[in-house]
Amino acid sequence: MNQRHRQTAGKAWIPLAFLAAYLLAFFVLPVGKMLIAGFANEEHQLASGSIAIFLDNPLYIESLLNSVMVALGASVLAALAAVPIAVTLWRFRLQPPLILELFGFLPLFVPPFMLSLSLQSLLGRGGALGMVLQTVGDLDPALWGLPGMMVIEAIHYFPLVLVTLVLNTASFAQQAHEAARLGNSWSRLITRVFLPLGFPGLAFGMAITFLKTLDDLATPLSLGITNLIAPQAFFRVSTYGSQDPLSSLMAVAMIAISIVVWIVSSGFVRHGAIDWNPASGGRTLAIQPAHRRIGMLCLAGISAFYITCYSGMILNSLAGIWSHTPLPESYVLSHYASALESETGSFINTLVYCGLAAILDVVIGLAMARAIEHSPPRWNKALSWGAAALLSVPGVALAIAYLQFFQGTQLPLLGQPLDATWFLLPMAFSVRGLPFAMRACAFALQSLPAPYVEAASLSGASRLSIGLRVILPMMAFGLTVAFLICFGIAAVDLSSAMLLVPSETDAPVSYSIYLHMQTSTGRGTGSALAILTIGFVALAMSAFVLAARRGWNPASSFRRIMFPGTPTR
């Protein structure tokens, strides 16, 4: 038995070594070189000159502080909006339908700059509400400055914060209601039960909001905001090249802030990482019709609010002539036709880049999940949280690290520098999607009943036959989930794409939307392309729900996939 355990453990190190080589080449060495470039001179000695320039420049210090303030403000605003609604749903024991829970994760798969551009079309001087409410003042978000950025990010990530709260607290709604019937006040139950249960999910949602806002590059540029650290790093690289030490310092500062936020939030997530599936302990009480109506009104109000927020982009995509009138003077479908005809290349680019990244994530995530499963307990936690920590790496920082590390590296077959090709894009996407892939692959492994595999082995079947006819079919759904999650996250990673894409013809869909929306003549096509993208994501999520109902329990499993670091067993 001990010999068998040692053989299994020895085999586990093979995929772990493969994983280490991958992370070494595409994460550790590039980021390490960037750290050296930021703090050392050509003789690899500590250089205080670039640090002094950074600290002496008021714009850079202001940009760093503004970025922290906007990210923190967005996460706090999203939390303040989510808590009352989550309390209402919990108070009346209303569990949102699975489709609404999954749509709560939609912000991870849709770039926030789309909301920014939609609100500009809606609230600007020539927009629908902007014309109607012009007596109130100029409502164009582009004129709001940093508070506008804060509000837009909060609106965008609010569903994510809300659904993490709901997933963390819904299991105890029935017990809380029974406790209230025994004389406990709801104010006491909310402070003593709801908030302790929900705080880990709230911390995770706020952390993701903070990290994504800090890393966001397209939204501030679409609003004309440049005094943030991500746009400043982008401008430094665009002006002075990837070897600029000040851009390295900015990237290092972003990584340091992200790591601190991730460590703080992971402590709360780890503290509350319990599989909450308590027994009811009594009969299930029927939900009163009035309570159900209140919950449905809350969910309907949220849906109507977001439809209104994106109505500016919807109108833009259908507008034939729209100039200084509340609504378009004519409606056409030519923008959709133009988007489908002219952006075929960007769709293909997205499929190639994100598909390669997702496949790589599934393979590496499966190898890591397998290695963690067979590793000693003390290594298990370290590896799990080490992979989850990749969430704290900003896309801007990783792109700068790639440009510095791979500059001048020649491809043996193509004969051109690696940084002049699209190859670095899927590699950056895969690094950032690996934590979610590892979680989903861990669940795919759990869906594999060991007795079936042992029975197939005893029957004399070969390893290849067992893998193709037993293991792969049982893991197919879990691996598909991992692929879809990683594909969706890679498709909206604009921070990496805007620095690593070699030319406009090599741009993915999200970057093409951004480029179209920067021109007055391309807003219709860009809006149509954005609506098609959002529609495709919504359709994929709906199909996922239909497939999940056939033999998977996403109500408990999806929470642990999207909460990296929580136990998988």
Q: Which residues contact 554 (CB under 8 A, 6 or more apart)?
A: 98, 102, 545, 548
What pLDDT score does 556 carry? 45
Residue pLDDT, tens place only, 335-346: 898 888 888 888
Phi–psi pair at 135, nearest 5 degrees: -70, -25
Longest alpha-carbon distance in the chain: 81
User: Which segments within 430-503 are labelled E, that is strand?
Assistant: none
3-class SS of residue 330:
strand
Pick the closest to residue 311 from 543, 109, 101, 127 (CA basis).
Answer: 127
Residue pLDDT, tens place only, 219-229: 998 888 999 99
What pLDDT score does 5 carry? 46
Q: Give the angle subtended at the CA of 302 by the CAs of 299 and 303, to the nearest 5°.
A: 85
The enclosing H or E element of 515 equals helix 509-517
The rounded distance, in Å, linking the Cα atoms of 240 and 249 is: 14
Asked if the model's pLDDT at residue 46 lies above 80, the reply is no
Residue pLDDT, tens place only, 494-522: 888 888 988 888 889 888 888 888 877 77
What pLDDT score does 550 carry? 56
Asked if the model's pLDDT at residue 463 lies above 70, the reply is no
What pLDDT score does 48 carry? 62
The rounded distance, in Å, linking the Cα atoms of 488 and 543 is: 14
SS (H, E, C) 221-287: HHCCCCCCHHHHHHHHHHHHCCCCHHHHHHHHHHHHHHHHHHHHHHHHHHHCCCCCCCCCCCCCCCC
Domains by residue range for the chain, with CATH: 21-275+289-409+417-562 (1.10.3720.10)
What pLDDT score does 135 carry? 57
Residue pLDDT, tens place only, 49-60: 677 788 888 999
pTM: 0.84
Mean pLDDT (whole number) for 452-471? 65
Mean pLDDT (whole number) for 364-370? 81
Q: Give the angle subtended at the CA of 27 by the CAs of 21 and 33, to the nearest 5°.
A: 110
Phi–psi pair at 408, nearest 5 degrees: 85, -10
Residue pLDDT, tens place only, 155-210: 999 988 988 888 777 776 667 666 666 666 777 777 777 878 778 888 888 988 99
The rounded distance, in Å, linking the Cα atoms of 61 and 27 is: 27
What pLDDT score does 343 carry? 84
Asked if the model's pLDDT at residue 120 lies above 50, the reply is yes
β-sheet bridge partners, residue 40: 46
Paired tokens of 289 = 């019709």
The rounded distance, in Å, linking the Cα atoms of 480 and 543 is: 12
Asked if the model's pLDDT at residue 368 lies above 90, the reply is no
Paired tokens of 360 = 């790589």
CB neighbour burial string for 480-498, b if at least 16 within 10 angstroms, e if fewer:
ebbbbbbbbbbbbbbbbbb
Residue 241 backbone class (left: φ over 0; alpha: ψ -120 to 50; beta: rest):
left
What pLDDT score does 157 carry? 93
* Tally of CB atoms within 10 A around 79: 21
